[in-house]
Amino acid sequence: MKRIAFAIAFFVALLVAWELTVRSGRWSPVILPSPWKVAEYLWSSVLDGSMAEAMWVTLKRLVVGYALGVALGLPVGLLCASSRYVDDTLGALALGFQTLPSVCWIPLALLWFGQTETAMLFVVVMGTLWSVALATSMGARTMPAVYDKVARTMGSRGIHKWTRVILPASLPFLVSGMKQGWAFAWRSLMAAEIYVTILSGFGLGQLLHYGRELNAMEQVIGVMLVIVAIGLMADKALFAPWERFVKLRWGAATQ
Amino acid sequence: MLLQVDPAPAKFSVERVSKTFRRGRVETHALDDMSLSVRQGEFVCLVGPSGCGKSTLLDIMAGLCRPDSGHVLCDGHEAGEAGPDRLVMFQEAALFPWLDVTGNVMFGLKLRPDLTRAQRREIAGHYIGLVGLERFARAHVHELSGGMKQRVALARALAPDPDVLLMDEPLSALDAMTREQLYVDFQRIHAESGKTIILVTHNVREAVCLGDRVVLMSPRPGRIREEFAIPLARPRDVNSPELARYATDITVALKDYMGEDVAE
């Protein structure tokens, strides 16, 4: 209770400081709008449906791309862990692509797919895939060898062993890999949306971009707040439960 | 023709097994022409100094590793690849942390399509009770002590009802008090379940306490040197003087073989 009160007090103080800075008149309201103006913009964007639409477009790209990236990354990671040859080749490639900032995929995606949804999806997949693959492979390779012996003697082979032993054993690595993949995907999607306009859907990044074009600073800040909120909610909704599970089952020793 | 009937046919046997490991140019002759035969319900302990190939032999018996030559027979048939007919307790409990105690014991049972969900629960519950962990059925693995973890590993290995239970130094990482308690429990569970058990250990007293027979191995290459029948009544107390006498005899023999090895 005390902690919640403290946190609320902090954010109220932040808003008050912001408002006072605006009222001091040192900066033009075009550069620094008041919190009320931002709230006003957000409310109007909710009323005219533009915010809901942008969120829908962005989240659809993100969720579909992310799911695809994870679905591809898991088998790639398991494959890398299963053979030294695959690890030397595909694994090295994954490591290289993972260090490549995923924004760098945007020019290539535009040339290959044009200004289409596919290009957006491609950027998100590339942001997710390699982080997930590397984490999976790391998790599978650091699994104690005796788990494999237990599985084999119990009669667990093939798909059963991969899904019931190796993947769950990799979970501590997997959760952080999927989190990193999510962060990369989210960042690269925003970059892509700010960078290119795609007529098939007007996402949050584009909303942000046009805020700048129109010199509508309250729109820029408002959209930024929405992006932050989505990031926080994804963390709480998608990853916090898994992190709790890992902590509960593996004990405090891991992570 | 005279039909010869063996009064107690071998439940499980290893016949003329040899194994050599190669790492680069170094060859390690781990096992040389080893044979061992175990009767139904017998508790056999393999004892030897480290490096005598006893863990390799156990891996071969479990089907986790192929011998260069020789056979592993279960009920007279080639045992082949690892499978739930021969389950293993390892030195580490090797429980799966993502599953709770019941989940771990159910792991092997879930691979049995012939069982219903209710039957699996009932069997798991029975074995968790047998190892005295009813109150911890829903506990997480990291909350358990070392001894409790090995009890769960035992329940997990017993639940799918294997023909043979193989134990690879399962008590060596535990403290003395816990170990002595587990000697009592292992004997009770062996008596109740009638399982055929093969235990590998370097602890002679442990072998004498648990085994119907103690088989002595010597290293480089791993060979069976001598067998000792232990006709002591059960349940046995690891601290009893009679047991200590057997252990002393075996230790003396063991030291002889080791001395031979040093002299070579």
Structural domain includes residue B25: no
pLDDT at A255 (0 to 100)? 44
Cis ω before B221 (30° cut-off from 0) = yes
Instruction: Give residue-wise pLDDT tens across range A111-163.
Output: 999 888 999 999 999 999 999 999 999 999 999 999 999 999 999 988 999 99
Structural domain includes residue B17: no
If asked whether residues B133 and B179 sit together in one domain, one would say no
Mutate to test the interface with A, among B61, B64, B98 (most CBs of A within 10 A): B98
Q: Considering B104, B136, B161, which residue would you say is the last residue of a domain?
A: B161
As a CATH number, domain A42-250 is 1.10.3720.10
pLDDT at B206 (0 to 100)? 93
If asked whether residues B102 and B196 sit together in one domain, one would say no
Contacts of B111 in chain A (CB under 8 A): 154-156, 160
- Residue A165 neighbours by CB distance under 10 Å: 22
Please, what is the average pLDDT of chain B? Answer: 88
Structural domain includes residue B217: yes
If asked whether residues B177 and B140 sit together in one domain, one would say no
pLDDT at B28 (0 to 100)? 81
pLDDT at A82 (0 to 100)? 86
Q: How confident is the model at residue A198 (pLDDT cuts 50, 70, 90)?
A: confident
User: Who's near B161: CB < 8 A, 6+ residues apart?
Assistant: none
pLDDT at A134 (0 to 100)? 93
Q: How confident is the model at residue B78 (pLDDT cuts 50, 70, 90)?
A: confident
Host H or E run for residue A22: helix A2-23
Full DSSP string of B206-263: HHHHH-SEEEEEETTTBEEEEEEE----SS--TT-HHHHHHHHHHHHHHHHHHHHHHH
pLDDT higher than 90, residue A102: no
pLDDT at B88 (0 to 100)? 94
DSSP state, B33?
A: E
What amino acid is encoded at B223 in this protein? R
Structural domain includes residue B21: no
Nearest alpha-carbon partner for A32 in A227, A225, A220: A220
pLDDT at B63 (0 to 100)? 92
Instruction: Give residue-wise pLDDT tens across range B109-126.
Output: 999 889 999 999 999 999
- Quote the percentage of chain A above a pLDDT of 90: 57
Structural domain includes residue B106: yes
pLDDT at B4 (0 to 100)? 54
If asked whether residues B168 and B204 sit together in one domain, one would say yes
CA distance to partner chain A, nearest, from residue B139 (Å): 9
How many domains does chain B fold into?
A: 2
If asked whether residues B110 and B240 sit together in one domain, one would say no
DSSP state, B4?
A: P
Instruction: Give residue-wise pLDDT tens across range A31-72.
Output: 889 999 999 999 999 999 999 999 999 999 999 999 999 999
What amino acid is encoded at B261 in this protein? D
Domain span at residue B57?
Answer: 37-85+162-264
- Quote the percentage of chain B above a pLDDT of 90: 57
Picking from A144, A155, A249, the nearest residue to B98 by CB comes out as A249
If asked whether residues B258 and B175 sit together in one domain, one would say yes
Cα-based distances in Å from B145 to A183, A250, B33, B96, B141: 38, 14, 40, 15, 9
CB contact under 8 A, A253 and B142: yes
Structural domain includes residue B18: no
Average pLDDT over residues B143-160: 93
Nearest alpha-carbon partner for B172 in B201, B192, B131: B201
pLDDT at A38 (0 to 100)? 93
- Quote the percentage of chain B above a pLDDT of 70: 94
ipTM exceeds 0.95, yes or no? no
If asked whether residues B133 and B104 sit together in one domain, one would say yes
If asked whether residues B134 and B237 sit together in one domain, one would say no
Q: Considering B116, B131, B161, which residue would you say is the last residue of a domain?
A: B161
Phi, psi of B223 (to 5 degrees): -140, 155
Average pLDDT over residues B218-239: 86
Rounded-to-integer distance, Cα B244 and Cα B250, Å: 10
Average pLDDT over residues B155-182: 92
Please, what is the average pLDDT of chain A? Answer: 90
CA end-to-end span of chain A: 27
If asked whether residues B166 and B209 sit together in one domain, one would say yes
Strand B69-74 versus strand B10-23 pairing type: antiparallel
Structure tokens at B179: 């170990």
If asked whether residues B240 and B136 sit together in one domain, one would say no
CB contact under 8 A, A155 and B111: yes
If asked whether residues B234 and B156 sit together in one domain, one would say no
Q: Higher model confidence: residue A253 or residue A110? A: A110
CB contact under 8 A, B97 and A250: yes
Rounded-to-integer distance, Cα A181 and Cα A187, Å: 10
Phi, psi of B122 (to 5 degrees): -65, -45
Domain extents in chain A: 42-250
Mutate to test the interface with B, among A142, A147, A153, A156 (most CBs of B within 10 A): A153
Least confident range of A2-11, A117-126, A195-204, B119-128: A195-204
CB contact under 8 A, B94 and A147: yes
Rounded-to-integer distance, Cα A244 and Cα A237, Å: 12
Instruction: Give residue-wise pLDDT tens across range A67-101.
Output: 999 999 999 999 998 888 998 999 999 999 988 98
Q: How confident is the model at residue B27 (pLDDT cuts 50, 70, 90)?
A: confident
Find the chain A residues whose C-beta atoms sit closer than 8 A to any C-beta of B. Answer: 144, 146-147, 149-150, 152-156, 160, 164-165, 168-169, 171, 248-251, 253
User: Who's near A182: CB < 8 A, 6+ residues apart?
Assistant: A66, A128, A234, A238, A239
pLDDT at B263 (0 to 100)? 46
How many angstroms separate the most distant Cα atoms in chain B?
Answer: 63
If asked whether residues B81 and B183 sit together in one domain, one would say yes
Strand order in the sheet with B10-23: B26-39, B10-23, B69-74, B77-78
Instruction: Give residue-wise pLDDT tens across range A11-33.
Output: 999 999 999 999 988 888 888 89
Structural domain includes residue B139: yes
